[in-house]
Amino acid sequence: MTMAEHTEDEQRTPGKAPPRRMCAGCGKRDLADGLVRVVLGPDGALAIDLADSKFGRGAHVHPAVDCVTKALRAGFAKAFKAKVEGSIEALSDQIVEAADRRIEGLLAGARRGRLVVAGADSVRDALNDGSAELVLVASDAAAATKFSEIQEAIGQGKAVAWSNKQHLGSLFGRDEVAVCAVLHEGVAKAIGSARRMALPFAGSRSEAWWSSEVR
């Protein structure tokens, strides 16, 4: 499977309007890419499907605590026409975990396809030559944000904080990686989307240095 096949943007038919879905929480229709897909298991338990694998019957909800709370009260039961088991705490954890798995898979595929570079020097080179589509900075690597190129990427909305140096390093076969840059537009968009969906539910796991002052 090619990297292009990993992203929703490149699966669409050219010229076809992007799909819209109704939020099971607030009831408003929105672009499917901006909603979290939820599927119902045979036991009545909910599962998150950020990769939009199409398995099972799905419902959609905005990545917002209020919408998920409303959906759990009645929206999911109405959408699935069945009793639904779940809590805001459990579903929040699932969304964060699903986003992490999604990002891990996308980065692994990008590495195999040589569509990502790791390390401050390589990332700065990619930013300077314009090949970097998205920068990921480990949450415990605040020092990496002091480079002017990375500061500029943050200001342009082309950088996100995710995971930690040890975990990011494990995806690249290294002890630690503080920063990496995705060179493929579709993969970058998919990673950015997964990260945005998880942020409202990250709670104490959100990155302290990733603040309005840094931006």
Q: Are 126 and 164 in contact (CB under 8 A)?
A: no
- Structural domains of the chain in order of their starting residue, each with its CATH number: 3-92 (3.30.1230.10), 115-205 (3.30.1330.30)
Tell me the two tokens of residue 165: 């140096």
Contacts 24+ apart (CB under 8 A), 191-196: 191/102, 191/103, 191/106, 191/107, 191/134, 191/136, 191/160, 192/134, 192/160, 193/33, 193/34, 194/50, 194/98, 194/99, 194/102, 194/103, 194/106, 195/99, 195/103, 195/160, 195/162, 196/63
d(CA 46, CA 86): 7
Beta bridge partners, 59, equal: 38
d(CA 76, CA 8): 24
pTM of the model: 0.84
Tell me the two tokens of residue 119: 């390390």
Three-state DSSP at 79 gives: helix
Res 1: pLDDT: 35
d(CA 198, CA 50): 10
Per-position pLDDT tens, the chain of length 215: 333 334 444 445 566 788 999 999 999 999 998 999 999 988 888 999 987 776 778 999 999 999 999 999 999 999 999 999 889 999 999 999 999 999 999 999 999 999 999 999 999 999 999 999 999 999 999 899 999 999 999 999 999 999 999 999 999 999 999 999 999 999 999 999 999 999 999 864 444 344 333 33
Sequence-ordered list of residues with C-beta below 8 angstroms from that of 166, at least 6 positions apart, any chain: 175, 176
- Tens of pLDDT, residues 51-67: 777 677 899 999 999 99
Tell me the two tokens of residue 210: 């990733």
DSSP 127-194: HHTT--SEEEE-TT-GGGGGSHHHHHHHHTT-EEE-S-HHHHHHHTTSS--SEEEE--HHHHHHHHHH
Res 128: pLDDT: 97
Contacts 24+ apart (CB under 8 A), 150-158: 150/120, 150/123, 150/124, 150/179, 152/127, 153/127, 154/214, 154/215, 155/215, 158/132, 158/133, 158/134
Sequence-ordered list of residues with C-beta below 8 angstroms from that of 97, at least 6 positions apart, any chain: 48
Res 3: pLDDT: 37
